[in-house]
């Protein structure tokens, strides 16, 4: 009899410790399942764990790096084009906040393109994407600091690979549109 009470107290203490560790996410749920700890009388804990589990599963399916389709790639390239056109106006107006925001977005887009080109086995495009992303990150940092000499230098680095990549991987169609080779 005393042994059962001791085990129950030990488990209750273990559950309290695990509840204190809820910030660590869904792993608590799996630990509870593996150890056979009952969450029967803890409805809030169950809700938190269920939401965490659903979020983890949903993000696994939604955030795959290779899900960039040709259509979404074209959409991102159009966004890069529009954003880089704003660079010139922001540089002339010395608007560091706008330039930093735009450059950070361009860096993010180029990072997304790396896995797209890797899947297509286009090593040159992967290299150009990485270089352009790094240059855009440097541009963002320089714009935040207000270092306009550095901004002029790094802004050229962001767009230096555009022509090379377009010549190698973009095909113009007779109707005026384009497709990826």
Task: State mean pLDDT over 14-30.
Answer: 53
- pLDDT surpassing 70 at residue 102: yes
pLDDT of residue 155: 87
Average pLDDT, the chain: 78
pLDDT value at 18 more than 70: no
Q: What is the pLDDT of residue 176?
A: 83
Share of the chain above pLDDT 90, in %: 38
Residue of 104 and 156 predicted with greater confidence: 104
How far is 103 from 28, CA to CA, in rounded Å?
Answer: 39
pLDDT at 6 over 80: no
Residue range 14-27: average pLDDT? Answer: 53
Separation CA 155–CA 84 (nearest Å): 9
| Ramachandran angles phi, psi of 176, nearest 5° | 95, -15
* Span of 50-54, 101-105, 118-122 with lowest mean pLDDT: 50-54
Q: Is 60 left (phi over 0), alpha (psi -120 to 50) or beta?
A: alpha
Q: How confident is the model at residue 11 (pLDDT cuts 50, 70, 90)?
A: low
Residue-level pLDDT at 145: 93
Ordered by where they begin, the domains of the chain are: 2-62 (no CATH), 66-180 (1.20.120.10)
Beta carbons of 142 and 151 less than 8 angstroms apart: yes
Percent with pLDDT over 70 in the chain? 63
Q: Tell me the mean pLDDT in the region 154-181.
A: 88
pTM of this prediction? 0.61
Pairing of strands 178-180, 170-172: antiparallel
């Amino acid at each position: 009899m005393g042994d059962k009470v001791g085990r129950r107290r030990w488990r209750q203490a273990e559950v309290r410790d695990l509840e204190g560790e809820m910030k660590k996410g869904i792993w608590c749920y799996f630990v509870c399942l593996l150890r056979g700890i009952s969450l029967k009388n803890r409805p809030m804990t169950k809700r938190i764990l269920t939401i965490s589990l659903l979020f983890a599963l949903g993000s696994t399916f939604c955030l795959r790096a290779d899900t960039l389709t040709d259509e979404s790639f074209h959409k991102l390239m159009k966004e890069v084009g529009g954003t880089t056109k704003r660079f010139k106006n922001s540089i002339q107006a010395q608007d560091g906040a706008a330039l930093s925001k735009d450059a950070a977005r361009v860096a993010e887009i180029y990072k997304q393109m790396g896995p797209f080109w890797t899947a297509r086995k286009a090593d040159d495009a992967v290299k150009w994407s990485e270089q352009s992303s790094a240059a855009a990150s440097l541009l963002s940092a320089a714009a935040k600091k207000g270092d306009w000499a550095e901004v002029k230098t790094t802004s050229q680095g962001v767009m230096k690979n555009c022509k090379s990549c377009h010549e190698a991987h973009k095909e113009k169609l007779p109707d005026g549109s384009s497709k990826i080779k």
